[in-house]
Amino acid sequence: MASNRPGEPEGSRALLLLLRTAPVPGLPEGLHYPSQLRAIGEAAGLSMEAEFSLEQVIAQTRRRLGWESGEGEGESPGEGEGEAGEGPGENAASDAGPYGCPGPTLDDVRPAARLRDRLAAALRADSDAMCAKLLTELSIEWELHPGLDALCQPITVSRQEGFLPQLARELVMSAMGFAATGRRSGLRHCSEPWCGLPFLDGSRDGRGRYCSTRCSGRAKARRRRDRLETHRQGEPS
């Protein structure tokens, strides 16, 4: 199952990762590649077929052409390395078993962006009633049904097959969890101007402004720099 930071509801990390690709003031559309969807799928706990890695193909080609000696990788250049770099060992993340869903493709990117925008619209709806209506509509569109797993535990299943329906199932359920636990108001945008990413405020007083300690640290450093600057300008030259 998806792992979350403490204080985040189940599956919310994947939801936040997807929401963070949305265009916000100052940031263009950020969802372009299947690899991004794969990372979101991994965060959602989906088991996917192993990845075709362009980086690995490029690295192999470079070695084959003699542009790189392959040093530091414990692999000698020459024949036979065609298969060598393709093992899952090179990418610990792509260890999905044989029963996983297919990995994301370029065709999934635009529909995923549309799903993202509709999830965001639902979570930022003015009223709970509107949020409930929009999320229920998504659930119906993706044909999500209640079911039971092998241990008779309640699960949600999608009638549709493939990567995106599986991801949609996880994300719609996660968004519903957000809404049902009254945590929609904790969904904010980071106040750091260079960031602006959505985050879930888990602070005790509910007044968190930054998505990460990196952003709060950056803001603090800037304030300190500004103070020094003002101080220096006040000094007689």
Contacts to Zn ion by CB under 5 A: 190, 192, 195, 211, 215
**Alpha helices per DSSP H over 124-212:** 128-141, 163-180
Least distance to Zn ion, CB of residue 2, Å: 21
Which two tokens mark 195?
A: 């960031």
Give the shortest CB-210-to-Zn ion separation in angstroms: 5
Q: Of 173 and 215, which has the nearer Cβ to Zn ion? A: 215
CA dist 74 and 162 (Å) reads 37
Smaller CB separation from Zn ion, 15 or 173: 15
**CB neighbourhood size of 166 (10 A):** 24
Q: Radius of gyration (Cα) for the chain, nearest Å?
A: 22
DSSP assigned state of 36: H
- The residues pairing with 158 across neighbouring beta strands, listed in sequence order, are 144
Select 110 or 214, whichever has its Cβ closest to Zn ion: 214
Q: Are 196 and 209 in contact (CB under 8 A)?
A: no
Q: Select 48 or 190, whichever has its Cβ closest to Zn ion.
A: 190
User: What CA–CA distance (Å, rounded) separates 120 from 78?
Assistant: 50
Min dist CB 12 to Zn ion, Å, is 16
Smaller CB separation from Zn ion, 136 or 216: 216
Query: Nearer to Zn ion by C-beta: 206 or 217?
Result: 217
Q: Least distance (Å) from Zn ion to the CB of residue 184?
A: 19
- C-alpha distances in angstroms, 20 versus 59, 109, 196, 203? 30, 14, 9, 20
- Per the CB < 8 A criterion, the answer to whether 50 and 103 are in contact is yes
Least distance from Zn ion to the Cβ atom of residue 221, Å: 14
What angle do the packed helices 34-43 and 109-123 form, to 10 degrees? 50
